[in-house]
RNA sequence: GCGAGAGUGGCGGAACUGGUAGACGCACUGGAUUUAGGAUCCAGCGCACUAGCGUGCAUGGGGGUUCAACUCCCCCCUCUCGCACCA
């Protein structure tokens, strides 16, 4: 029987080395950040994790990318802030607590302990003194203060909305918890229910949030596009249509006021209040049926399903204030109450949806905008003409272009008092009420005499009671915990009820980046000087799944805090990097697919440096990373190769002079040159676009050259100084990526100063300059030969040499040479 | 349907403002060393034809601009992501 192979045989002892340096960094507080106005700051932030239990490969990748940048910037002399914390409130803790019969707080804090240890084992350079957890009252107390300040400023309000309600669980469900119209937990039918909830007036900031997108030049265009679409600004007009035989007015919003003469009916959302007008008409029964049928159908609708356009006449007409036309009012299933005014003027000739609806119900079609190249006929129209054109059948506006008509018609409506220019947004106010336990309590009190009252600032924080915990009913225990909800009204002193809803956890992550600047500050939420020194975040890194909500909310909060005078930046994140997913075997890692890779096992088998190296090497950060176990072995091999070389040349490296001799031999010069070229390449890759994969490839090339020169160098005639220079550069260039490994080898090779105190290496352009360059010779665009020449060669000489070249002559033959193109120092193309 | 991005060897991926396509790594093949190797070292490795020197052909497909196109322009196909009746 074979002996059990020795663990790590043939490999460097990464376990020892990594433990040694991690201990060192922790005890020396190496990465502690202090404010220093004399130094250039760099705030690097990765999206903090939800403490779900353990770190996954997505975290490993995200935080490896961030750590390289943090360490790189430190070496470049920046004062770097690189904090880490925990997005610690949220529903999973409640579910886990139920499942394991524990308390969400206990579960959360245990996870934090475990995951913190995992992050430390990866060697990430965080300033742990700034660690924060959002479920800590010392954190959320300030969020409650913000809430009250926002309330005082009119940025918080309470209103009734329709929510997804599960009767058996007695709770509100988020949209993503409703699966095919059923509760994710008990499979009961989810019903719409009207409930009170608290809202942040994010729409007040819609315009600024949109406009400022143009200044976010350090963000991916993709994310900005998503944000712009989400805000969804449209410019148009609001027009009043009086309803016949009533004193009611139907307000509509349109982006096409130029088509107003073509309106032949009206479409209301089923929820629109004026739908009730049908009640006293013969249509009453039909309308009521339609409305309830539509509401149910909507809830059961699959996300990508297109429903058939339907509607019913509500028994009333309104008058087009422009034309005096009498138009029937319908309610239709494709009109959304949430957008605009919930009512649409239907112009079948110029809107495809209205066109389909009109054809189905035999409603008139009236062309009022003619294209410039042909004449449309209302009778024979096959589809709506949605482009702009020239107005027709529009009274005094005939002959105007659509653009002119929009302005003229809007102005006319304003003049006559039945309309005005209006801008609407798709963005809705942010509903933050959650009927959950594990979240920040909303600091409000309901008094039957005084109404809603904010908790006085001196009474903050409203602590989430630890003696409650979720039970299987699904209902928040806060609703029934008397010691929590029973309180006194701050206005009249009478008995009152505390708000028992908690805040959406997106609120915590909307300002944590600011708190990192001063996590120990007790006099208020934010210490102005420190916050203003560090903010904005210079580089933010995280998954693209947060491209809309988290980033939009964080931007909103930053502007609110600015207006509340807590900080003075307009935007929180100057540069944004959205890293790709980690996939394996062509699919996202997931338990159900069975392709999950456990970081712990990888660290044990290969060490943290190898895991970091591979996750940086396999793909550029913004692209998806295809995980490959074989690839990890390759990364490990590379580090071992470097380690072996350094170990076996330790004495030479320790004693080699730092100064380069002036008369190096050819091979030494080649190594010296490659060293400087590599520094140049790696510096550029890291500075420009964080393309670590090509940076690492460049270092590998340097190492390959070094090893091949040594192995064929029996005479040992390569200058030790050149070798030392190459090894030092290798260690410095890899330091941000494989910090334990490089620190150890740096020490072994006799440096007295620690690697972590070294500056980023610089290259000498003279040293990096090639002695000889290859110039490609083409005949008629095809490569036929190559010339090895001095880099100082002139174009004339190059041309001359090319024409003398055997291969060139062979392929030119006796054809006349038409022209010769010379790209300096690169290429010659002979056209014959 | 709309919007954005991408398509390069067996695989992950390189290629600066149009100028040697395939860096680096993985896999694979042959060899060396070894009791053995899943360790290490050396060599090869886009495809086709060729004994070889070579010569064609190649960056999703088709056209175009150019001395020269992965790169620029037009059309088409496929995939990924986001939005999806937004009036």
Q: Please report, for chain A, the start and end positions of each structural domain, with discontinuous segments joined by +.
A: 145-201+430-503, 233-425, 628-768, 773-831
CA of A71 to C1' of B12 (A): 26
Residue with minimal CA–C1' distance to B39 is A10
Nucleotide nearest to A630 (CA to C1'): B26
Which pLDDT band, with edges at 50, 70 and 90, does A482 fall under? Answer: very high
Percent of chain A with pLDDT over 70: 95
> Worst-scoring range by mean pLDDT, A406-420, A607-621, A736-750, A805-819?
A805-819
> What count of Cα atoms within 13 Å lies in the side-chain half-sphere of residue A367?
20
Topology alike, domains A145-201+430-503 and A773-831 = no
Which pLDDT band, with edges at 50, 70 and 90, does A179 fall under? Answer: low
Mean pLDDT of A661-682: 89
In this predicted structure, what is the pLDDT of residue A383? 85
In this predicted structure, what is the pLDDT of residue A469? 82
Residue with minimal CA–C1' distance to B1 is A306
CA of A35 to C1' of B78 (A): 53
pLDDT beyond 90 at A450: yes
At which residue do the structure tokens 């030392």 appear?
Answer: A724
In this predicted structure, what is the pLDDT of residue A306? 66
In this predicted structure, what is the pLDDT of residue A241? 95
Mean pLDDT of A758-773: 92
Residue with minimal CA–C1' distance to B83 is A229
CA A330 – CA A646 distance, rounded (Å): 82
Question: From the CB of residue A222, how many other CB atoms can be counted at a distance below 10 Å?
Answer: 12
Which pLDDT band, with edges at 50, 70 and 90, does A4 fall under? Answer: very low
In this predicted structure, what is the pLDDT of residue A500? 94
CA of A724 to C1' of B65 (A): 52
pLDDT beyond 80 at A529: yes
Q: Which residue has the higher pLDDT, A107 or A468?
A: A107
In this predicted structure, what is the pLDDT of residue A476? 86
Nucleotide nearest to A354 (CA to C1'): B87
Residue with minimal CA–C1' distance to B55 is A784
Nucleotide nearest to A774 (CA to C1'): B20
CA of A549 to C1' of B5 (A): 21
Query: What is the per-residue pLDDT across A511-528, written as a single tens digit (0 to 9) for each?
Result: 999 999 999 999 999 999
Alpha helices by DSSP H, listed for A153-266, are: 206-211, 221-231
CA of A593 to C1' of B78 (A): 25
CATH superfamily of A628-768: Isoleucyl-tRNA Synthetase; Domain 1 (1.10.730.10)
CA of A630 to C1' of B38 (A): 11
pLDDT beyond 50 at A8: no
> Worst-scoring range by mean pLDDT, A61-65, A134-138, A449-453, A712-716?
A712-716
The answer to whether A511 and A566 are in contact (CB under 8 A) is no
Nucleotide nearest to A707 (CA to C1'): B41
> Worst-scoring range by mean pLDDT, A6-10, A529-533, A752-756?
A6-10
CA of A598 to C1' of B38 (A): 21
CA of A281 to C1' of B31 (A): 96
ipTM: 0.94
CA of A113 to C1' of B73 (A): 58
How many helical (H) and strand (E) elements, i.e. helices and strands, does chain A have? 25, 32
pLDDT beyond 90 at A472: no
Percent of chain A with pLDDT over 90: 66
Nucleotide nearest to A547 (CA to C1'): B82
CA torsion sign for A364, A369, A375, A381 is: negative
CA A478 – CA A471 distance, rounded (Å): 11
Query: What is the per-residue pLDDT across A193-247, written as a single tens digit (0 to 9) for each?
Result: 788 999 999 999 999 999 999 899 899 888 998 899 889 999 999 999 999 999 9
Mean pLDDT of A32-61: 95
Which pLDDT band, with edges at 50, 70 and 90, does A473 fall under? Answer: confident
List chain B nucleotides near protein: any atom < 7 Å from a Cβ. 3-5, 11-15, 19-21, 23-27, 37, 39-43, 55-56, 67-69, 81-87
Nucleotide nearest to A425 (CA to C1'): B86
Nucleotide nearest to A783 (CA to C1'): B20
Residue with minimal CA–C1' distance to B19 is A827
CA A156 – CA A150 distance, rounded (Å): 6
Query: What is the per-residue pLDDT across A298-315, written as a single tens digit (0 to 9) for each?
Result: 766 655 566 788 899 999
Nucleotide nearest to A234 (CA to C1'): B86
- Provide CATH code, domain A773-831: 3.10.20.590
CA A49 – CA A92 distance, rounded (Å): 13
CATH class of A233-425: alpha beta
In this predicted structure, what is the pLDDT of residue A832? 81
CA torsion sign for A489, A493, A494, A495 is: positive
In this predicted structure, what is the pLDDT of residue A641? 94
Mean pLDDT of A756-764: 96
Burial class (CB in 10 A: 0-12, 13-18, 19+), A380: exposed
In this predicted structure, what is the pLDDT of residue A299? 65
Write out the two tokens for A799.
Answer: 């041309």
- Using alpha carbons, list the distances in angstroms from residue A221 to A28, A217, A225, A281, A348: 41, 8, 6, 53, 36
CA of A742 to C1' of B44 (A): 33
Residue with minimal CA–C1' distance to B67 is A831
Residue with minimal CA–C1' distance to B4 is A222
Nucleotide nearest to A346 (CA to C1'): B87
Bridge partners, A819 (sequence order): A831
CA of A634 to C1' of B25 (A): 7
Nucleotide nearest to A347 (CA to C1'): B87
CA of A551 to C1' of B75 (A): 38
Residue with minimal CA–C1' distance to B85 is A334
Residue with minimal CA–C1' distance to B37 is A5
DSSP track, A88-100 = --SHHHHHHHHHH
Angle A625-A628-A629 from CA coordinates, rounded to 5°: 145
Query: What is the per-residue pLDDT across A551-580, written as a single tens digit (0 to 9) for each?
Result: 999 999 999 999 999 999 999 999 999 999
The answer to whether A428 and A203 are in contact (CB under 8 A) is yes
CA of A690 to C1' of B27 (A): 28
CA of A707 to C1' of B22 (A): 24
pLDDT beyond 80 at A189: no
Nucleotide nearest to A230 (CA to C1'): B83
Question: From the CB of residue A37, how many other CB atoms can be counted at a distance below 10 Å?
Answer: 8
Query: What is the per-residue pLDDT across A596-632, written as a single tens digit (0 to 9) for each?
Result: 889 999 999 999 999 999 999 999 999 989 898 999 9
CA of A641 to C1' of B40 (A): 10
At which residue do the structure tokens 């939800």 appear?
Answer: A50
Which pLDDT band, with edges at 50, 70 and 90, does A7 fall under? Answer: very low
CA of A694 to C1' of B1 (A): 39
CA of A820 to C1' of B10 (A): 40
Question: From the CB of residue A325, how many other CB atoms can be counted at a distance below 10 Å?
Answer: 17
pLDDT beyond 60 at A255: yes
Nucleotide nearest to A827 (CA to C1'): B19
In this predicted structure, what is the pLDDT of residue A712? 63
In this predicted structure, what is the pLDDT of residue A415? 95
pLDDT beyond 60 at A2: no
Q: Which residue has the higher pLDDT, A82 or A545?
A: A82
Nucleotide nearest to A338 (CA to C1'): B86
Nucleotide nearest to A344 (CA to C1'): B87
In this predicted structure, what is the pLDDT of residue A1? 26
Nucleotide nearest to A614 (CA to C1'): B25
CA of A691 to C1' of B60 (A): 26
In this predicted structure, what is the pLDDT of residue A544? 83
CA of A121 to C1' of B15 (A): 37
Which pLDDT band, with edges at 50, 70 and 90, does A548 fall under? Answer: confident
Alpha helices by DSSP H, listed for A29-82, are: 57-75
> What count of Cα atoms within 13 Å lies in the side-chain half-sphere of residue A748?
21
Nucleotide nearest to A256 (CA to C1'): B87
Nucleotide nearest to A710 (CA to C1'): B41
Per CATH, which fold does A145-201+430-503 belong to?
2.170.220
CA of A814 to C1' of B44 (A): 38
CA of A832 to C1' of B55 (A): 20
Residue A343 belongs to what H/E stretch? strand A343-346
CA of A812 to C1' of B62 (A): 31
Query: What is the per-residue pLDDT across A269-300, written as a single tens digit (0 to 9) for each?
Result: 998 999 999 888 898 999 999 998 887 777 66
Among A776, A772, A785, A792, smallest CA distance to A812 is for A785
CA A818 – CA A796 distance, rounded (Å): 17
């Amino acid at each position: 029987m074979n002996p059990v192979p020795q663990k790590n045989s043939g490999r460097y002892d990464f376990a020892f080395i990594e433990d040694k340096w991690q201990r060192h960094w922790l005890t020396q507080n190496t990465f502690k950040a202090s404010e220093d106005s004399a130094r250039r700051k760099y705030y690097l932030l990765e999206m903090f994790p939800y403490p779900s239990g353990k770190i996954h490969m997505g975290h490993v990748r995200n935080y490896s990318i961030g750590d390289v940048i943090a360490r790189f910037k430190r070496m470049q002399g920046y004062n770097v802030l690189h904090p880490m914390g925990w997005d610690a409130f949220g529903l999973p803790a409640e579910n886990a607590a139920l499942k394991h019969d524990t308390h969400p707080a206990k579960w959360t804090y245990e996870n934090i302990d475990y995951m913190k240890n995992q992050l430390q084992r990866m060697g990430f350079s965080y300033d742990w003194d700034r660690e924060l957890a959002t479920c800590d009252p010392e954190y959320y107390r300030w969020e409650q203060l913000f809430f009250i300040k926002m309330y005082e400023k009119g940025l918080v309000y309470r209103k009734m909305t329709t929510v997804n309600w599960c009767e058996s669980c007695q709770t509100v469900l988020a949209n993503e918890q409703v699966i095919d119209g059923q509760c994710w937990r008990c499979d009961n039918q989810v019903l719409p229910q009207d409930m009170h909830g608290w809202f942040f007036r994010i729409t007040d900031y819609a315009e600024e949030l949109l406009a400022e997108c143009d200044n976010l030049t350090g963000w991916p265009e993709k994310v900005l596009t998503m944000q712009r679409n989400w805000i969804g600004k449209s410019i148009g007009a609001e027009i009043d249509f009086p309803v016949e035989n009533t004193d009611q007015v139907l307000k509509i919003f349109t982006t096409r006021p130029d088509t107003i003469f073509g309106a032949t009916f009206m479409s209301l959302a089923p929820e629109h209040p004026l739908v009730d007008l049908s009640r006293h008409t013969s249509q009453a029964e039909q309308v009521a049926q339609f409305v309830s049928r539509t509401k149910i159908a909507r809830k059961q609708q699959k996300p990508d399903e297109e429903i058939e356009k339907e509607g019913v006449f509500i028994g009333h007409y309104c008058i087009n204030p422009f034309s005096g036309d009498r138009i029937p009012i319908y309610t239709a299933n494709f009109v959304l109450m949430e957008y605009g005014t919930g009512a649409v003027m239907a112009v079948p000739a110029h809107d495809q949806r209205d066109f389909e609806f009109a054809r189905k119900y035999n409603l008139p079609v009236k062309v009022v905008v003619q294209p410039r190249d042909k004449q449309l006929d209302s009778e024979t129209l096959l589809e709506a003409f949605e482009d702009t054109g020239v107005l027709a059948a529009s009274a005094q506006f005939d002959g105007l272009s659509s653009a002119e008509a929009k302005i003229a018609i809007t102005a006319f409506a304003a003049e006559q008092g039945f309309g005005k220019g209006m801008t609407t947004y798709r963005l809705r106010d942010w509903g933050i009420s959650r009927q959950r336990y594990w979240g920040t309590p909303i600091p409000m009190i309901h008094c039957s005499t005084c109404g809603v009252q904010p908790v006085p600032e001196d009474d903050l924080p409203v602590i989430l009671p630890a003696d409650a915990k979720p039970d299987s009913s699904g209902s928040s225990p806060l609703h029934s915990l008397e010691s929590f909800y029973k309180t006194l009204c701050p206005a009249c002193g009478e008995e009152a009820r505390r708000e028992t809803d908690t805040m959406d956890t997106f609120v915590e992550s909307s300002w944590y980046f600011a708190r990192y600047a001063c996590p120990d500050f007790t006099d208020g939420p934010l210490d102005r000087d420190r916050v203003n020194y560090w903010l904005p975040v210079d580089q933010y890194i995280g998954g693209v799944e947060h491209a809309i909500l988290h980033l939009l909310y964080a931007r909103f909060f930053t502007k609110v805090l600015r207006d509340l005078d807590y900080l003075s930046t307009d935007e929180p994140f100057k540069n944004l990097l959205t890293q790709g997913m980690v996939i394996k075997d062509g699919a996202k890692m997931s338990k159900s697919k069975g392709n999950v890779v456990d970081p712990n096992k990888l660290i044990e088998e290969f060490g943290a440096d190898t895991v970091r190296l591979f996750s940086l090497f396999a793909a550029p950060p913004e692209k998806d990373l295809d995980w490959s176990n074989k690839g990890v072995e390759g990364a490990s091999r590379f580090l071992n190769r470097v380690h072996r070389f350094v170990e076996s040349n330790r004495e030479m490296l320790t004693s080699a002079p730092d100064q380069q001799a002036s008369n190096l031999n050819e091979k030494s010069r080649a190594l010296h040159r490659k060293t400087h070229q590599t520094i140049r390449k790696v510096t550029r890759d890291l500075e420009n676009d964080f393309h670590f994969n090509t940076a690492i490839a460049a270092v590998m090339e340097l190492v390959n050259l070094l090893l091949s020169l040594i192995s064929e160098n029996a005479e040992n005639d390569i200058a030790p100084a050149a070798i030392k220079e190459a090894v030092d550069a290798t260690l410095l260039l890899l330091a941000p990526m494989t910090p334990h490994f490089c620190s150890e080898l740096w020490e072994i090779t006799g440096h007295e100063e620690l690697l972590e105190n070294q500056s980023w290496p610089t290259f000498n352009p003279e040293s990096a300059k090639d002695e000889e360059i290859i110039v490609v010779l083409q005949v008629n665009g095809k490569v036929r030969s190559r010339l090895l020449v001095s880099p100082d060669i002139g174009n004339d000489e190059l041309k001359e040499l090319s024409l003398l070249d055997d291969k060139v002559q062979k392929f030119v033959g006796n054809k006349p040479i038409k022209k010769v193109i010379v790209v300096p120092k690169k290429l010659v193309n002979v056209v014959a």
